[in-house]
C-alpha cells in the first residue's frame, strides 16, 4: 500500500501535524495504515503537549469506536 500526502494547498491542517508524523512515514508503519494512524495520533498529541511549556497538560486519546479515554503517562514516547 502506498500512502500519499495531501496537497498542501488543499489541506493546510496537514502542516500543523506534519512535523510529528513525517518521521513515522519513513518507517515500516507506512505499510500498516491502522498502526500508522494510531501512532500518528499519539505523536501529534505528544507534540502538542510538548509545545505547552509551563503548564500541566495531560494528553489523552478518545476512541470514537469505544468511547474510552486513554490518558497518557507523563512524557510518553510516541
Write the DSSP assignment of 11-71 as a string of letters.
-THHHHHHHHHHHHHTSGGGG-HHHHHHHHHHHHHHHHHHTSTTS----EEE-TTT--EEE
Q: Is 7 contained in some domain?
A: no
Average pLDDT (15-42) is: 87
pTM of the complete model beyond 0.85: no
Q: Count structural domains, the chain.
A: 1
Q: Is 64 contained in some domain?
A: yes
Q: Is 3 contained in some domain?
A: no
Q: Is the pLDDT of residue 14 over 50?
A: yes
Average pLDDT (51-74) is: 88
Q: Is 4 contained in some domain?
A: no
Enclosing domain of residue 45: 13-71
Q: Pick the more confident residue, 28 or 8.
A: 28
Report pLDDT for 19. Answer: 81
Q: Is 8 contained in some domain?
A: no
Amino acid at each position: 500500500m502506498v500512502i500519499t500526502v495531501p496537497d498542501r494547498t488543499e489541506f493546510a491542517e496537514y502542516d500543523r501535524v506534519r512535523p510529528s508524523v513525517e518521521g513515522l512515514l519513513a518507517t515500516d508503519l507506512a505499510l500498516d495504515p491502522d498502526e500508522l494512524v494510531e501512532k500518528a495520533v499519539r505523536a501529534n498529541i505528544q507534540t502538542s503537549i510538548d509545545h505547552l511549556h509551563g503548564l500541566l497538560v495531560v494528553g489523552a486519546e478518545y476512541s470514537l469506536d469505544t468511547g474510552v479515554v486513554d490518558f497518557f503517562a507523563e512524557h510518553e514516547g510516541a
